[in-house]
Amino acid sequence: MQREQEDQPDAQAVAGPATPGDHGMRRAAGLGLAAALWVALPATADEVPRTGVWNLFVENDLFYDSDDNYTSGVAMAWVASPKPAPDWAVRIARSVPWFPEIGDIRHGYIVGQNMYTPKDITLAVPAPGDRPYAGWLYATIGLGVESAGQTDQFALTLGVVGPASLARESQAEIHRITGSPDPQGWDTQLGNEPGIELAYQRRWRDVATAKFEGIEMDMTPHAGGALGNVYTYANAGLTVRLGKRLTSDLGPMRIRPSPPGSGFFIPSNTFSWYLFAGVDGRAIARNIFLDGNTWKESRSVQKEYLVGDFQWGLAVTWKGARLTYTHVRRTREFESQDRSDDFGAFAVSLAF
């Protein structure tokens, strides 16, 4: 069976509350939602989905009792089955000079919202050296080509940073529902600015594989980058997986910037799983959420030019559903940041 792949996203969620009780309530609500989706999943067998895969991504630091820096991300993605690819996707894929001329073509769409806050949200004016309040509301269209031994992904993202991202309203509403403190500093957030990002990733599959007593292992390096007024960076890294039916996907998908993954998978009536660990290192020239607005005065901090993500977790697949949980540790993103960040990434994927 041929391995499947997909184009990449970005996403976010509303920021988490600050008390252990509220954390427990939100964890319970999240587990209840996951259980409901699991029961409702379509009963598909070992075959490529007829239409595609819906994905819901939630990244939040509530899992580790914090509410700052990259505090929340949520996104919804649709990844279409590879055949037949629409004419526009074929024309674009065949016109990109570094894309392979032969291979399966897949396209996808993402909408999402990210949220960034300083360490102390009770201050009307964040302390000097603390990161600015910022929101990012965006939509992405992605295109991918899977050929022998590699996958290529290209994504165009358009969105808005600032009050128009509605991040302030999102966080305020969630904090109202959960009884958490109302963030006080959103009046200091970055100003409205349209955002654009072009991103490209290449992954080399089956660089190293092994199988022992029915347990499979694979290793997939990647390299790429992004260009735009929101993010500009070059990145490279590696993902290692261990489990069963690794050919069903190309690893867990996350909100960019991150190690690349796959929003597409092949369903199975056989329960399958894998453990994974990965790293992604980025050399960053531009990060609007730290550098501030491009064409107007705004708050800013001195960013770190080298940032890394270390991630590990578990993915399980049964019938037409895949559930993934990832623990992410991100190194310091700006010079005055006192520690690295830990956050959780949860994804539910349903194939149809």
The per-residue pLDDT for range 90-133, each reduced to its tens digit, is 888 888 888 887 888 889 999 999 999 999 999 999 999 999 99
The per-residue pLDDT for range 52-97, each reduced to its tens digit, is 999 999 998 877 777 789 989 999 999 998 777 888 888 888 888 8
Q: Are 159 and 222 in contact (CB under 8 A)?
A: no
Overall number of domains in the chain:
1
The answer to the question of residue 25 being in a domain is: yes
Beta strand 231-243 pairing with 306-319: unpaired
Residue 238: CB atoms within 10 A of its CB come to 18
**Taking the alpha carbons of 228, 118, 16, 283 in that order, is the dihedral positive or negative?**
positive
The answer to the question of residue 76 being in a domain is: yes
**11: closest CA among 284, 261, 281?**
261
Of all residues in the chain, the percent with pLDDT exceeding 70 is 86
**289: closest CA among 90, 133, 171, 129?**
133
The answer to the question of residue 15 being in a domain is: no
The answer to the question of residue 92 being in a domain is: yes
Domain of residue 176, CATH code: 2.40.128.140
H helices then E strands: how many in the chain? Answer: 4, 13
Q: Which helix (H) or strand (E) holds 94?
A: helix 87-95
DSSP output for 98-147: TS-SSSEEEEEEEEEEEEEE-S-TT-SSPPTTSPPPEEEEEEEEEEEEEE
* Residues 296-321, mean pLDDT to the nearest whole number: 96
Question: 62-66, 291-295, 325-329, 339-343: lowest mean pLDDT where?
Answer: 62-66
Q: Which helix (H) or strand (E) holds 38?
A: helix 20-39
The domain containing residue 341 runs over which residues?
A: 20-351
